[in-house]
Chain A
């Protein structure tokens, strides 16, 4: 901006060169140059501050990535900047820790479990909460106010963790035992009052014409929901799916409580603890397991940026 201003002033001066140089214009150029310098200095300071802050923030993550490629000896020997750099000197053993985590510790099984639980939860979450949101936004039926009131109440009141009663319900009331415990892990992630609310809000903005046109063509309620409403609601469906995935993938406590003793059924977060406690596990292997656990979420955040930002927007509705 300032550069352009200066040249503009200069050309201005040359065109009026015949007349006496306008003192006002001269003063203007003189005043502008220090401002420009000051701006460059500010910019440089901003960039330096940004780089320093960024480094502070990602240093632990760089450390995690670096150590995950090192043998225990290499990790212990590293000093200074080498602490944060991968083990490029020994490319032959670069992925050894990952290989061990995958084969010997069998983390791939738990990663697959997590993916599967998340996939089931996402599909059911969208169908169950979407249908409820659809009915509450488009249908007129007696008792509608009752459900809307319950939804608002459950969203506003900050209920303290009910994880212990939830545990008694799954084990004592529903008698989910053995591999059936997996259902206990997935089902609570399927229902989300807040998602019902989100769907409700979004569906209300869809004009009734779409529905009516489909109804005239003889489509039933379910067909309208799956073929008309859901395809028109891709942004909200994606947002719900992304947050559901992150929620299920990152959940630790609940699956750990339910699946203690079922190592093969555990999702990946719950098995990290087990890896820590293996005899003779190296720091590099622990870090490799942490990296493997973080990669899918990282991919999701990059791929679904748009929907995550949308999710933030809708989060504001919560208040």
Chain B
């Protein structure tokens, strides 16, 4: 492992050296002089960032790529073999046999499909709602933003208490007033994921609301005034001024919320544990790597996710731009 890291490092050093040489030759031709002392000082000042970025950002990505084609087991770090695409064939058989991975994909897809429109829609609604100069608007904004302040861990544990399966759970105590017996929401195969969608949107949408709000304030007011003079109604103004004005904000929010939703794992992890009806792709990947110690297989899942998510993000960019 260390040797591979050194080889990668050497490759980078060679690439860098080549580029430095090219730059120097170019500078010579253009008669530009580099200050040797400044260059050395620059590299020295960048050294901590380069070292940390290499070890903690670049290496994990490259290793993850490489591990996907090996049988790396966490307990045998000195016994790694190249196995070609067998990790991927294993994953595909698991999908076709409707194993854990199939459920993970299904749950993640359900989560993404529901949470992305819900969270963005809510955020846009709240941003439009608070986009007026009135007394008290700030109080409302603080209330809508409050859930963002509490972390995902706290959110999960808080909702675990709210959804508790006995009468002491908030929701069940409400239902109890109508004579509905206590329901175990998170063990229910049909609704567990829906609750996770709901609490995730609740926790996250205040953040996107603020981004939408700043996008809304950037839309020039005279556009609305001109439209009013032309007799435009609220809906027309929304479609013809607000939506185009928010385009780049919307693109940014779509991509970040989508990518974030694809990575969902803390909520099911803390609220239900590893269960077929709530396992998600990231959770499956984590469980394979950290729980079952099968790093090769886990990296293969990560690689598949990167490709799929990257492709979908690219499509979103193309369509929206």
Binding site for B on A (CB under 8 A): 43, 46-47, 49-50, 53-55, 57-58, 60-61, 63-64, 67, 75-76, 79, 83, 127-129, 131-132, 134-136, 139-147, 150, 154, 157-169, 172-174, 187-188, 190-191, 193, 196, 221-222, 225, 249-250, 252-253, 257, 269, 272-273, 276, 283, 286-287, 290, 293-294, 297-298, 301, 309, 312-313, 315-316, 318-319
Contact = CB atoms under 8 A, between A and B. Distances in A.
B111 interface: no
B6 to A, nearest CB: 10
Interface stretch (B19-27, B81-89, B235-243): B19-27
A63 to B, nearest CB: 6
B313 A140 contact: no
Contacts of A154: 57-58
B92 interface: no
B53 A140 contact: no
B109 interface: no
A46 B126 CA distance: 12
Nearest to A72: B168
**What are the 9 A-B residue pairs with the smallest beta carbon separation, nearest first?**
A164-B289, A142-B23, A162-B60, A132-B49, A54-B143, A191-B52, A250-B151, A165-B63, A160-B306
A141 B140 contact: no
B264 to A, nearest CB: 11
Given A191-B49, A191-B57, A57 B147 contact: yes
B303 to A, nearest CB: 8
A54 B252 CA distance: 26
B170 interface: yes
B34 A143 contact: no
Nearest to B37: A221
B168 A75 contact: yes
Contacts of B173: 79, 83
A191 B56 contact: yes
Contacts of A169: 55-56, 59-60, 63
A143 B20 contact: yes
B252 A252 contact: no
Interface residues of B, number: 100
B31 interface: no
A252 B158 contact: no
Given A128-B48, A154-B57, A164-B64, A58 B151 contact: no
B2 interface: yes
Contacts of B1: 168, 172-173
Interface string B76-115: 0100000000000000000000000000000000000000
A62 to B, nearest CB: 10
A314 to B, nearest CB: 11
Interface stretch (B39-47, B179-187, B188-196, B222-230): B39-47
B121 to A, nearest CB: 14
A63 B313 contact: no
Contacts of B249: 316
17 contacts: A53-B144, A54-B143, A57-B143, A57-B202, A140-B38, A142-B34, A143-B20, A160-B263, A160-B302, A161-B282, A162-B60, A165-B64, A252-B151, A253-B286, A276-B160, A287-B161, A315-B211
B149 A298 contact: yes
Contact of B305 (A60, A160, A168, A301): A160
A260 to B, nearest CB: 10
B306 A286 contact: no
B147 A46 contact: no
B153 A272 contact: yes
B60 A221 contact: no
Interface in B243-271: 248-249, 251-252, 255-256, 259, 263, 265-266, 270
Nearest to A147: B46
A131 B64 contact: no
Interface string B124-164: 00100110101011011001111101111110011111100
B158 A64 contact: yes
A132 B46 contact: yes
Among B168, B202, B206, residue most surrounded by chain A Cβ atoms (within 10 Å):
B168
B277 to A, nearest CB: 21
Contact of A187 (B50, B56, B177, B202): B56
